[in-house]
């Protein structure tokens, strides 16, 4: 008797705890409503904690059915990643009754040797109409390394995003402008790209995409090549100081240290800058600054944007870099002023940039101040045009007291000269905005 009892207990325990008798049904990541153009492949996942059995995916509407996938999972397979295409001549749903159904079983023996079952139904909305998009106004030209403004219209019942995409593949986000359906973006021709082209790209939730090229006159700019001779006292002081985070050995030479600073550290520092300068607001705007972004008074330009710098040690070129700002020199520890209203989004040490401050001015536009000796504002502060924000200095990779001034659009360093020029702003920003507002006002 006792042994029969023990056997029964044993079977019960086996049924309760054995993986062959688990009770969890398969799951799917499919969540509704799904917007689909019935053209781009539909991805979905079916999984089970132990092993999948049969599966079937269908589109159904009022009794009509189209099978998208059907089969049996391989032995022991826990996950199915399906990429489904819709058959060419199958019906396209027209009503809100259309559903995608996912059925699947597992290989559990729990339910009297019948498996656990998944039956999911989600609404599918058929949308085969691409968004409409058009350019309302844009800057006439763009310079290599420079900026431009674009106002465009993009509409769709199920609009997902409306952005500017360059031929190089960079995406510039846009901000709502004046009225629903209109957007504005500041964009940039990156210094590293030889050519420039950009389009408005509007996509909807169903995967439809509309691409409208924006016409720009391309202004070629020839950037300078400058030679910098590295002197011993610079290598022995600044470079030793800046390379403190390097894994140095007794064999590390001043050249090794310089290469670490100019290559490894520079790349890290630029990555941080790109990271903090990518945001753009989603509030509706109806204008932008009309005054130049001048951060310092009575200073002379001692280094220009886009300079290709070759570093010499004796007669040998040992490294190179691109200078992505304008250098201004004035008196020692000169006051730096906020060039327009903004918010402080970064103040702190950043390697070769030394003590660095970054302001955000809206529309994805940022200004950057490097090599400062001190800060007069801190992260989070709202600053007004002409408010003192910092003092110049020579922290970081600087040969003497100066301000390294950078202007960025959504992470891309652009020619500060344009933003320092009242006439350039008038023709390329203010005029584009005013023309767009006139056009939009003339619509009903
Ligand atoms: Zn500089």
Identify whether the C-beta of residue 325 lies closer than 8 Å to the C-beta of residue 417: no
What is the average per-residue pLDDT within 203-212?
96
pLDDT of residue 76: 87
Q: Residue 7 pLDDT > 90, yes or no?
A: no
78 CA → ligand 1 middle, Å:
56
pLDDT of residue 113: 63
Element (H, E) at 118: strand 117-126
Residue 267, both tokens:
């790349």
Element (H, E) at 16: helix 2-17
What is the average per-residue pLDDT within 414-436?
98
Q: Residue 16 pLDDT > 80, yes or no?
A: no
Q: Residue 162 pLDDT > 60, yes or no?
A: yes
Q: Residue 1 pLDDT > 60, yes or no?
A: no
* pLDDT band, very low/low/confident/very high, at 317 (cuts 50, 70, 90): very high
* pLDDT band, very low/low/confident/very high, at 165 (cuts 50, 70, 90): very high
3-state DSSP assignment of residue 106: strand
Pseudo-torsion of CA 54, 56, 62, 63, nearest 10°? -60
Ranges 58-67, 106-115, 378-387: which has the least confidence = 106-115
291 CA → ligand 1 middle, Å:
23
CA 46 to chain centre: 31
Report DSSP state, residue 14.
Answer: H
320 CA → ligand 1 middle, Å:
14
pLDDT of residue 20: 57
For 181-235, the three-class secondary structure string (H helix, E strand, C coil) is CEEEEEEECCCCCCCCCEEEEEEECCCCEEEEEECCEEECCCCCEEEEECCHHHH
Ranges 28-32, 128-132, 154-158: which has the least confidence = 28-32
pLDDT of residue 249: 87
392 CA → ligand 1 middle, Å:
12
What is the average per-residue pLDDT within 130-151?
97
Ranges 4-8, 52-56, 312-316, 334-338: which has the least confidence = 4-8
220 CA → ligand 1 middle, Å:
22
Residue with the bigger pLDDT between 346 and 232: it is 346
pLDDT in tens, 370-398: 999 999 999 999 999 999 999 999 999 99
122 CA → ligand 1 middle, Å:
57
383 CA → ligand 1 middle, Å:
23
Identify whether the C-beta of residue 32 lies closer than 8 Å to the C-beta of residue 123: yes
CA pair distance 378, 390, nearest whole angstrom: 10
302 CA → ligand 1 middle, Å:
9
CA pair distance 183, 163, nearest whole angstrom: 9
211 CB contacts (<8 Å, ≥6 apart)? 133, 165, 199, 200, 201
Task: Report DSSP letters for 295-316, one per residue.
Answer: --SS-EEEE-TT-EEEEEETTE
59 CA → ligand 1 middle, Å:
60
What domains sit in the chain, N to C, each tagged with a CATH number?
21-126 (2.60.40.3780), 132-221 (2.60.40.1930), 225-414 (2.70.70.10)
162 CA → ligand 1 middle, Å:
35
pLDDT in tens, 342-361: 999 999 999 999 999 999 99
353 CA → ligand 1 middle, Å:
8
280 CA → ligand 1 middle, Å:
25
233 CA → ligand 1 middle, Å:
20
pLDDT in tens, 167-196: 999 999 999 999 999 999 999 999 999 999
303 CA → ligand 1 middle, Å:
6
225 CA → ligand 1 middle, Å:
14
Q: Residue 74 pLDDT > 60, yes or no?
A: yes
Residue with the bigger pLDDT between 107 and 368: it is 368
* Residue % of the chain over a pLDDT of 90: 78
Residue 288, both tokens:
């932008």
CA pair distance 307, 311, nearest whole angstrom: 12
Q: Residue 83 pLDDT > 80, yes or no?
A: yes
pLDDT of residue 111: 52
404 CA → ligand 1 middle, Å:
4
pLDDT of residue 335: 98
Would you call 194 exposed, middle or buried from its count of C-beta atoms within 10 A (0-12, 13-18, 19+)? Answer: exposed
pLDDT of residue 109: 60
402 CA → ligand 1 middle, Å:
8
């Amino acid at each position: 008797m006792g042994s029969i009892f023990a056997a029964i207990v044993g079977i019960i325990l086996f049924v309760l705890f054995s993986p062959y008798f688990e009770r969890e049904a398969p799951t799917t990541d499919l969540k509704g409503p799904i917007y689909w153009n019935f053209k781009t492949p539909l991805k979905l996942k079916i999984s089970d904690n132990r092993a999948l059995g049969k599966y079937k995916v269908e589109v159904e509407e009022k009794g009509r059915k189209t099978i998208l996938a059907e089969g049996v999972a391989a032995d022991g397979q826990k996950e199915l990643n399906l990429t489904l295409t819709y058959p060419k001549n199958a019906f396209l749903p027209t009503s809100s009754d259309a559903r995608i159904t996912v059925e699947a079983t597992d290989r559990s023996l729990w339910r009297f040797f019948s498996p656990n079952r998944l039956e999911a139904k989600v609404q599918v909305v058929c949308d085969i109409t691409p968004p409409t998009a058009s350019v309302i106004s844009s800057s006439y030209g763009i310079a290599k390394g420079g900026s431009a403004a674009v106002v465009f219209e993009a509409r769709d019942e199920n609009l997902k995003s409306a952005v500017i995409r360059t031929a190089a593949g960079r995406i510039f986000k846009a901000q709502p402008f004046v009225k629903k359906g209109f957007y504005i973006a500041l964009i940039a021709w990156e210094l590293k790209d030889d050519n420039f082209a950009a389009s408005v790209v509007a996509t909807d939730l169903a995967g439809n995409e509309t691409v409208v090229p924006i016409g720009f006159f391309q202004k070629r700019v020839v950037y300078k090549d400058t030679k910098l001779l590295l002197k011993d006292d610079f290598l022995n002081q600044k470079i030793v100081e800046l390379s403190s985070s390097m894994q140095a050995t007794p064999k590390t030479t001043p050249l090794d240290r310089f290469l670490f600073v100019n290559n490894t550290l520079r790349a890290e520092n630029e990555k941080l800058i790109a990271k903090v300068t990518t945001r753009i607001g989603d509030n509706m705007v109806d204008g932008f600054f009309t005054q130049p972004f001048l951060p310092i008074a009575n200073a002379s330009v001692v280094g220009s944007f886009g300079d290709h710098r070759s570093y010499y040690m004796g007669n040998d070129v040992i490294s190179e870099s691109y200078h992505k700002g304008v250098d201004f020199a004035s008196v020692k520890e000169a006051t730096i002023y906020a060039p327009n209203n903004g918010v402080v989004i970064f103040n702190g040490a950043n390697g070769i940039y030394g003590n660095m401050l970054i302001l955000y001015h809206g529309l994805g536009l940022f200004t950057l101040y490097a090599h400062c000796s001190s800060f007069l504002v801190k992260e989070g502060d709202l600053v007004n045009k002409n408010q003192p924000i910092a003092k110049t200095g020579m922290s970081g990779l600087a040969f003497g007291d100066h301000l390294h001034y950078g202007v960025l659009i959504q992470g891309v360093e652009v020619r500060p000269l344009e933003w320092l020029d009242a006439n350039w702003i008038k023709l390329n920003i203010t005029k584009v905005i005013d023309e767009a507002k006139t056009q939009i006002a003339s619509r009903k």
